A and B are shown apart, each in its own frame.
Chain A
Amino acid sequence: MNGLFGAGSRALGDADAHAREGAKVVTAGPAISLDHVSCVFQSKNGGGQLALEDISLTVDQGELVCLLGPSGSGKSTLLNVVAGLVKPSSGRVRAGAEDVLGPGPDRAVVFQDAALFPWLTLEENVAFPLKLAAVPEDERNARVESLLRLVHLWHFRDRHPHELSGGMRQRGAIARALANDPAVLLLDEPFGALDAQTRELLHAEVERIHSATRKTMLFVTHSVIEAVRLADRIVLMGTRPGRILDVLTVDLPRPRHSADAEVAELALRAGAAIAREVDKVAREEEGRV
C-alpha cells in the first residue's frame, strides 16, 4: 500500500508543478465554450438530421462536467465537436482562448473501447503521444512511469492490450490521454462496457485522478448514477434534435459513493428529468420495429 500512496503523491506533485506552469500562460476563463453550436448530419436519402441544435455551454477550468442523456441525444457528437473530430455546421467552439479547428493534443480523448494500440505494450502506448510530441527520452520515460503509477498499472507496463482486462485497458487509455498534459480530458462513455464492480472502482479512480490533476473533464454517459457520482455539473440532454434540457449542479462532498443517500436522491431527480426523453426514445424504437 505504501508504494501506491508514494506513487500517488508523486503524480500529485507532478500535476501541481504542471498546474503552476500552466497558470503563468493560461489566462482565467472557461476551459471549453460552445456558442450556439448546431450540427447537421447528411442522411443517405438526402435529408439532413439535426444531431445538435443550438448548444451553448461553458465548462470552467478544473470542472468535471457530465453529459447525460439517452442514445440519440447527441452527447457523443457534442464531445467529438469539442475534440475537433466532428465539425459543427454552425456556431463557435473554443478550447481555452483558441477556436477549435481540428483535433489537437490539448484535448485528449478516452474512447469507449479504450482504443489502445494493440501492437504496442501498455508502456509504449502511453509513450506514443509523447514520441509524437518529440519529448526527449529521459523525460518521456519519467512521465510514462508517473502516469502508469497514477493509474496503478506500472507492474503491467510490458503487457499488450489484449492481455489486460477491460478496466485496466480503460485506465491505460486514461494514462495515455494524460500523457501530453492536455488542458481538457474528454471521456466518451469510457466505462459503458464494463461490469458494475469494475465501474465502481474506476469511478473512484477518476475522482482521485481529477482531484490529483485538477484537469477539466467532459464525461459522456448514459448512466444517471455515474453522472451524479462524478460530476460537478450534469448537462441533461434530450433527443431529436440533440439539445440541452437542463443543467444540474451537483453540490455533494467528495469522495462520493454510488450508494450514498444523497447520490441516490439526486440520481432520482436527474433520472426523472430525462425520463420523458428515455421514454420517447423507447417508444420510437418500438414503433420502428
Chain B
Amino acid sequence: MSESASSLRDRGKTAFLRSIVLIALWWLAARAADSPLLPSPADVAQSIWISAKSGVLFRAVGTSAARLVVGYAIALLAGVPLGALLARSRVVKNAIGPLVLGLGAVPSICWLPLAILWFGLTETAIQVVVVLGALLPIATATESAVSHVSPSIERAARTMGASGATLLFRVTLPAAVPGISAGAKLGWTFALRSLMAGELLFVSGGLGQLLETGRDMGDTALVLAVVLAVVALARVCELALFSPIDREIARRWGTANA
C-alpha cells in the first residue's frame, strides 16, 4: 500500500511540475503575441472566476452534464442488449448487422438536422444526437466482447447444466464485462463529443452555447475558459467513475488494461 501511495505522490508531483511549465510557456507566448486573440492564463482565470461567480459557468456545466448523463444512460441501456443480441442471434445479426455498422460510420452530429425537423428545437432533438453517438460504439463493442468469450468458458458452464438465460446472464455477459466496459468508456467520449457539437449548433444553454457566446463577443478568454471546463468535466468523470471501474475489473478479471 505504501508503495502505491508513494508512486501516487510522485505522479502528483510530476503532474504539478508539468502544469507549472505549461502555464509558464503559455504566459510567455501570450506576452510575446500581445493580442486579444491569445489571452494570458491570468485573463482566462479571471474569465473563469467571473462566469463562475455569476453562475453562468455552473449552469452551463450542469445543463451539459445532465444531458450527458441521460443520453448516456439511454445509450447504455439500449446498446448493451443490442450488442448481445447481435452477437447471439443470427437472425438479428443478418437483419440489422449491416445497418448498425453503416450507421456507426455516420458522425452522430449528422443526425441533428433530421432530429430538429422531427422534434423541433427541443431537448429531445439534442438527446437523440447524444444517444446515437454513444449507442453504436457501445453496441459494436458489446457484440465483439460477447462473440469473443472463450468457448471453453461457455462449454464448461453447459456441462454444469447452465443453458439459455442462466448461461447468458451468469456466464457469457460476466465473461464479456472487460470488453463491454471498454465499449462503455468509448461510448462516453462519443456522447461528450456529440453533445458539444449539438450544443454548438443550436441555442441550448449548455457549455456548447457558452462557447458560441464567447465567439460572438470575441471573448477568447471565455472560449478558453469553457474548453477548460469541458476538460475538467471529462477528467472528473474519468477519475471518479471509469478509473475505479477499470481497477476493479483488472483486479477481478485479471485484465491488464487498468
Contact = CB atoms under 8 A, between A and B. Distances in A.
Contact of A104 (B161, B171, B252): B161
B254 A132 contact: no
Contact of B159 (A108, A113, A162, A163): A108
Contact of A105 (B155, B160, B252): B160
Contacts of B251: 160
Nearest to B154: A115
A165 B225 CA distance: 52
Contact of B156 (A107, A115, A163): A115
Nearest to A84: B159
Contact of B177 (A119, A161, A180): A119
Given A113-B150, A117-B171, A119-B177, A129 B160 contact: yes
A180 B160 contact: yes
Contact of B158 (A103, A112, A160, A162): A103
B153 A133 contact: no
A119 B253 contact: yes
Given A160-B254, A162-B254, A83 B159 contact: yes
A113 B155 CA distance: 12
Contacts of A180: 160-161
A109 B159 CA distance: 7
A118 B252 contact: yes
B19 interface: no
A163 B254 CA distance: 8
Interface string A84-123: 1100000000000000001111011101110101110000
Contact of A107 (B159, B162, B175, B254): B159
Contacts of A83: 159
Contacts of A102: 158
5 contacts: A102-B158, A105-B160, A111-B152, A117-B153, A180-B161
Interface of A: 83-85, 102-105, 107-109, 111-113, 115, 117-119, 128-129, 132-133, 160-163, 180
Given A85-B158, A118-B175, A129-B161, 8 more contacts: A85-B155, A104-B159, A108-B160, A117-B153, A117-B156, A119-B174, A119-B175, A160-B253
